């Protein structure tokens, strides 16, 4: 039953983020959240809008739902994660994407996805990574790993593969794209800093 409601949760979070603004007043935010929840169960051709979207997008991972929930809470005033926390989270999921998806695209002979059906080695590695994130106080990445693992242990999704709880193509593209943008901005900032330094240097 829970795996049936996960698409409704994903739809509600996504539509709310599209409808709301970060500086909107609280009554508007609650109204937008309620409207998104109602839309998720609205029928269309014998199927709710949330399940219609699921047929096109597939299921989002638990990690994606955690990050979407964090973004929604941010609309209600929850402080945004620190830049360092966000960067470590992006690096974690970008690394997982680079490990998993090249094989799916036929770019590698190994198949890490099969490990997700018997994920004990993967759980050990990610458990160690989660402890490192906690020690470094990178709470967002650690929370995503913990909740994805808990959901897999409880089989809260229809999938029997741990990877499907951990990451999805949308989270992979977001993480890789955000890291690329961050790197380009850092290079531009360094270049501008050097240009400014050269301008101030006396002839």
How far apart, in whole angstroms, are the C-alpha atoms of residue 60 and residue 171?
Answer: 8
What's the rounded mean pLDDT across residues 63-89? 89
**Over 70: is that where the pLDDT of 166 sits?**
yes
Chain length of the chain: 203
Higher-confidence residue: 106 or 187? 187
Q: 23-29 — which CB contacts under 8 Å span 24+ positions?
A: 24/75, 26/76, 29/75, 29/76
Largest CA distance in the chain: 76
Q: Using pLDDT thresholds of 50, 70 and 90, give the confidence band for residue 54.
A: confident
11: β partners: none
**What share of the chain has pLDDT > 70, as a percent?**
92
**Over 80: is that where the pLDDT of 6 sits?**
yes
Predicted TM-score of the model (pTM):
0.87
pLDDT in tens, 104-154: 776 667 788 899 999 998 999 999 999 999 998 888 999 999 999 999 999
**Over 90: is that where the pLDDT of 24 sits?**
no
Return phi, psi of residue 111, to 5°. -135, 85
**Both structure tokens of 186:** 């850092």
**What share of the chain has pLDDT > 90, as a percent?**
46
Q: 70 Cβ partners below 8 Å, 6+ apart?
A: 78, 81, 140
Angle, CA of 31, 6 and 59, to the nearest 5°: 115
Q: 173 Cβ partners below 8 Å, 6+ apart?
A: 97
- Residue 51 has a CB neighbour count (10 Å cut-off) of 17
Contact 61, 8 (CB under 8 A): no
């Amino acid at each position: 039953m829970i795996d049936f409601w996960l698409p409704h949760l994903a739809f509600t979070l996504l539509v709310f983020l599209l409808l709301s603004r970060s500086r909107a007043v609280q009554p508007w935010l609650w109204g937008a959240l309620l409207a998104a929840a109602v839309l998720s169960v609205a029928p269309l051709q014998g199927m709710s809008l949330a399940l219609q979207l699921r047929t096109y997008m597939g299921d989002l991972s638990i990690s994606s739902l955690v990050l979407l929930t964090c973004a929604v809470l941010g609309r209600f005033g929850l402080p945004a994660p620190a830049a360092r926390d966000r960067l470590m989270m992006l690096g974690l999921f970008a690394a997982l994407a680079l490990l998993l998806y090249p094989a799916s695209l036929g770019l590698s002979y190994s198949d890490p996805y099969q490990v997700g059906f018997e994920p004990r080695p993967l759980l050990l590695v990610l458990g160690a990574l989660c402890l490192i994130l906690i020690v470094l106080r990178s709470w967002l990445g650690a929370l995503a790993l913990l909740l994805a693992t808990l959901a897999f242990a409880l089989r809260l999704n229809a999938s029997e593969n741990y990877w499907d709880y951990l990451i999805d193509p949308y989270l992979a593209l977001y993480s890789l794209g955000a890291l690329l943008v961050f790197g380009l901005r850092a290079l531009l900032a360094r270049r501008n800093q050097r240009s400014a330094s050269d301008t101030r240097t006396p002839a």
